[in-house]
Amino acid sequence: MIDSHTHLASCAEPELELIAEARASGVRRMLTVGTDAESSRAALALAAQHDAVFAAVGLHPNNATGVTDADLAEIAELAADPQCRAVGETGRDDFRNYAPADDQRSAFLGQIEIARAVNKPLVIHTRAADEDTIGILREHATDLRVILHCFSMPERVEQCVAEGWWISFAGNVTYPKNHDLAEAVKLVPDDKLLVETDAPYLTPQAVRKYKNRPAYVTETAQFVAELRDETYADLDFIVSANAETLFGWNGD
């Protein structure tokens, strides 16, 4: 199994412990994601030390206040590192007033250009800003490989599939109240499907009393497999192949 989106540095447990536990659970590869320059550098350093770990570097929309050309240049430099396999997470978030919308858009557009320059996938965060996120992607990122991390737009799943974007499901798909999101799982083509933890957030329902960790991606994967009427082994093959295609980590 793979974890296409996690935040190892944000977890309370030691990173070595989390990686070893994940490997013991059958998680062969994981992408640890930066949300600003500091966490992106940490992600790259961790990836350099562990053959199961790869990095994404970016500036989260909630961290985009006052973004400058120099900030984006720093992300661009980090994105050129061979350990970096994706740019982001970036996007739009109007759920909480953490960063002005204009700054978020500037950071978003800048990271689209970075992903294009380094020819790496673009990891998208969107919350309460679906229309703007989709509009920006349609206008500026049609030539990029786009991953909708922690997918939360079930009413738009067919629209997103039509755009050719990859769709990644996190532990919130397992929550009983998220029936529409669970239904959306069935509509994603095999070649556009991913699973993730977004650890330490969004722990799957079966282990929800604990903080999330990469090993728990197996819980989400099992749930998704059952929804799609597939075996766990079949789903493992599907999402692992997709992650290899996107992140180029099959030969590492």
**Nearest-angstrom CA–CA distance, 9 and 40:** 10
**Is the pLDDT assigned to residue 250 strictly greater than 80?**
no
Q: Please report which confidence band the pLDDT of residue 97 belongs to, taking 50, 70 and 90 as the band edges.
A: confident
Q: Please report which confidence band the pLDDT of residue 20 belongs to, taking 50, 70 and 90 as the band edges.
A: very high
**Nearest-angstrom CA–CA distance, 140 and 67:** 19
CA-CA distances (angstroms) from residue 211 to 22, 55, 175? 14, 21, 15
**Is the pLDDT assigned to residue 251 strictly greater than 50?**
no
**Is the pLDDT assigned to residue 96 strictly greater than 90?**
no
Residue 90 pairs in a beta bridge with: 124
pLDDT digits (tens, 9 = 90+) for 55-83: 999 999 999 999 999 999 999 999 999 99
User: What letters, b where the CB count within 10 A reaches 16 and e where it falls short, cover 126-136?
Assistant: bbebbebbbeb
Residue with the two structure tokens 């990686």 = 19
Tokens of 80: 């050129």
**Nearest-angstrom CA–CA distance, 192 and 84:** 21
**Nearest-angstrom CA–CA distance, 26 and 62:** 33
pLDDT > 90: percent of the chain = 98
pLDDT > 70: percent of the chain = 99
Q: What is the pLDDT of residue 124?
A: 98
Q: 220 φ, ψ to 5°? A: -65, -40
Q: What is the pLDDT of residue 76?
A: 98
Instruction: Judge contact between 6 and 30, C-beta under 8 A.
Output: yes
Tokens of 16: 């070595």
Q: What is the pLDDT of residue 212?
A: 98
Q: How large is the average pLDDT for residues 2-27?
A: 96
Domain boundaries, the chain: 2-247
Residues 6 or more apart in contact with residue 233 via CB below 8 angstroms: none
Q: Please report which confidence band the pLDDT of residue 187 belongs to, taking 50, 70 and 90 as the band edges.
A: very high
pTM for this predicted structure? 0.97
Mean pLDDT of the chain: 97
- Supply the CATH classification number for the domain 2-247: 3.20.20.140
Q: How large is the average pLDDT for residues 10-28?
A: 96
Q: Please report which confidence band the pLDDT of residue 105 belongs to, taking 50, 70 and 90 as the band edges.
A: very high
Residue with the two structure tokens 């950071």 = 107
Residues 6 or more apart in contact with residue 10 via CB below 8 angstroms: 39, 199, 200
Tokens of 54: 């790869």
CA-CA distances (angstroms) from residue 190 to 167, 171, 224, 247? 10, 19, 12, 17
Q: What is the pLDDT of residue 252?
A: 42
Q: Please report which confidence band the pLDDT of residue 191 belongs to, taking 50, 70 and 90 as the band edges.
A: very high
